[in-house]
Chains A and B, each alone.
Chain A
């Protein structure tokens, strides 16, 4: 069709920072992002070969829209994972924010859409601040804290909703229109996700405080000794992640139109999977948001492709799981090879 196929490839893996960092490590990283991009292109090509309708304008728009929520969540999660933490509460934060946005519109039907977006994002930031405070100040492992807040936020959501549901008829057309609006044939929400990816990638790559997040994740003790305000940086990472989860919640409400207290249940694992598939090391210190965004695009495209290819539904989840294992395996293999090359090529400090 008239639509270029490029948008399906989501954000390009553009090099963010110039020079300075170890070039070898960067080259390996770039190759890895290229690998995910290649997998994505291959998947789209194979599916399109089997069913040419996979590349119609409507379908490409659907693919881009489908990836927005997961992409935004994966960007936030990456910022947290880079600091050697994890946030498992994002699904609940998304649910809470989605329901809050819907309730806001039920109470004030004439509310401007931007105010709702700001409110949902702010609510997410508050949840993120709670996580961050517990992790950074109370020094409790993030896995435990966010596992707790996963249930706390969901519980708040349930008691607030108390069985009620927000329906499409309750939401103003301007808000619902967010998810169908396009500019030059590309959905507005996809642009929003792209903006989030580019902004986060630029910050992590070019700003001192962004680079410090990597330092914290590589070796928290060393980061502390070199004067990096570890607690503050980790706290900020959680707040940003919470805010992005809140934003994703608003988009979720606009996209699906129907929101109850279970919105986003179980999403946290998909988000972590997207980041890991995108080459973000689960133990922190390496990975980019571009990779995570590609991972999110890849995971959602797999879901759509399997549906288009009419793969037996009993197999779909297993295929997704296999892909995650393959990605983690590749991650490990490359890490071992990089370590060996660094040892052999540039013997330092030994």
Chain B
């Protein structure tokens, strides 16, 4: 106990010194980030290294009590149990970067081996994470990345290409490969939405989709009322509309709610990105056939395995290395220390009841 406390004190002192040091040279040159990132990839990877028993793994989500992260962390716990580590979940009650920092500091003082976190801000928790890494922790981000210089690996829920492909595939199946479709997006200047829309447009260029015409993109501003009105507008402006793709959870739920109570139910197909709980009613009543989203449980599971593989030395975080993530199989580290979970999971009447998030 006493020794522990002394050690904790020493770590805190070290952390303080480091904090001062990093604060002193903070924001000096562009090269800084690269210098910091460099050491991680220099070690030798040993693909056969054993994951040590009792590896302490802490999950720090954006926010506790958020159903999405509750599911993701449960996946993490399952993975940690599989490799006989010690699992812990800590986190703030509100999704702010400042509250995450104090949790990171505590984890670092407790000599946690692996910290798996979803960043509330790409830069604000950087300092704390780097201190934790200096203290020996392995840092894996999932769901929301930090600056690549502050973590060892990022487990990405889905690549933009995968999201675009899945959605076009779904809508094509639902409208029989032919007809007019429209996209109901969030705000006109949402970065991720626009990236997906661009990729969906590119996807539609492929010969197997030549019967499908994307007539317009509408913006529901991630607001129920606006999404309702835009859906109504789409249906009135394009009488022959066969389907709507809404790659935003608010948009797809609002559009589904509107369709389910209108004369267009069953006539116009709807798909996109949504959560099973949100969409259950509409899948059951036949408004929506199938939609997609990554599986947060698998995301947490993969992140926990990635952290263990790093900590054990099976990988160093360099591009091209591979590791095995339990039941999900083998994964490869991509550019910038990113691991992509894979194509999104498709939910339909057959499997929707297996998910609760």
A interface residues, Cβ below 8 angstroms from B? 51, 53-54, 56, 58-59, 62, 66, 69, 158-159, 162-165, 167-169, 176, 179-180, 252, 255-258, 263, 300, 303-304, 306-310, 313-314
Contact = CB atoms under 8 A, between A and B. Distances in A.
Interface in B138-175: none
Contacts of B230: 307
B163 to A, nearest CB: 21
Interface stretch (B74-82, B126-134, B199-207, B279-287): B279-287
A51 B237 contact: yes
B87 interface: no
B236 A59 contact: yes
Nearest to A311: B233
A314 B189 CA distance: 9
Contacts, number: 96
B219 A313 contact: yes
Looking at A169, A258, A263, the one whose CB has the most chain B CB atoms below 10 A away is A258
B65 interface: yes
A308 B261 contact: no
B188 A314 contact: yes
Nearest to B258: A62
Interface stretch (B108-116, B117-125, B221-229): B221-229
B218 interface: yes
A310 B93 contact: no
A175 to B, nearest CB: 12
Contacts of B281: 167-169, 176, 257
Nearest to B70: A163
B218 A313 contact: yes
A304 B229 contact: yes
Contacts of B31: none
B106 interface: no
B293 to A, nearest CB: 14
B285 to A, nearest CB: 9
Given A66-B225, A308-B236, 17 more contacts: A59-B232, A62-B228, A66-B229, A158-B94, A162-B65, A163-B66, A163-B67, A167-B253, A167-B278, A167-B280, A168-B280, A168-B281, A169-B284, A252-B224, A256-B257, A310-B233, A313-B188
Contacts of B233: 304, 306-308, 310
Contacts of A54: 236
17 contacts: A51-B236, A66-B225, A162-B66, A163-B67, A165-B277, A167-B253, A167-B281, A168-B281, A168-B282, A179-B261, A258-B250, A258-B253, A303-B229, A307-B218, A307-B232, A308-B237, A313-B218
B220 to A, nearest CB: 9
Contacts of A314: 188
Looking at chain A's contact residues, the main secondary structure is: helix
Contacts of A62: 228, 232, 262
B254 interface: yes
B63 interface: yes
B329 interface: no
Contacts of A169: 277, 280-281, 284
User: What 7 A-B pairs have minimum CB-CB distances, sorted nearest first?
Assistant: A307-B233, A163-B66, A168-B281, A180-B261, A169-B280, A169-B281, A162-B65
A258 B260 CA distance: 13
A249 B92 CA distance: 29
A304 B67 CA distance: 33
Nearest to A179: B261
A300 B224 CA distance: 13
B4 interface: no
A258 B254 contact: yes
Contacts of B228: 62, 66, 256
Interface in B23-74: 63, 65-68
Contacts of B236: 51, 53-54, 56, 59, 308
B67 A165 contact: yes
Interface string B239-281: 1000000000010011001000111100000000000011011
B238 to A, nearest CB: 9
Contacts of B218: 307, 313
B216 interface: yes
A252 B232 CA distance: 17
B278 A162 contact: no
Given A66-B225, A307-B230, A163 B65 contact: yes
Given A54-B236, A304-B232, A307-B230, A167 B277 contact: yes
- Chain A CB count within 10 A is highest, among B63, B219, B228, B263, for B228
Contact of B67 (A66, A164, A252, A300): A164
Contacts of A53: 236, 239
Contacts of B234: 307
Given A66-B229, A308-B237, A263 B224 contact: yes
A54 B233 CA distance: 9
A162 B62 CA distance: 12
Contacts of A163: 63, 65-68
Contacts of B254: 256, 258
Nearest to B221: A313
A62 B262 CA distance: 9
A257 B257 contact: yes
A177 to B, nearest CB: 9
Contacts of B278: 165, 167-168, 258
Contacts of A258: 224, 250, 253-254, 257, 278
Among B65, B224, B262, residue most surrounded by chain A Cβ atoms (within 10 Å): B224
Nearest to A303: B229
Interface in B280-299: 280-282, 284
A267 to B, nearest CB: 9
Given A179-B261, A258-B254, A164 B280 contact: no
A159 B63 CA distance: 12
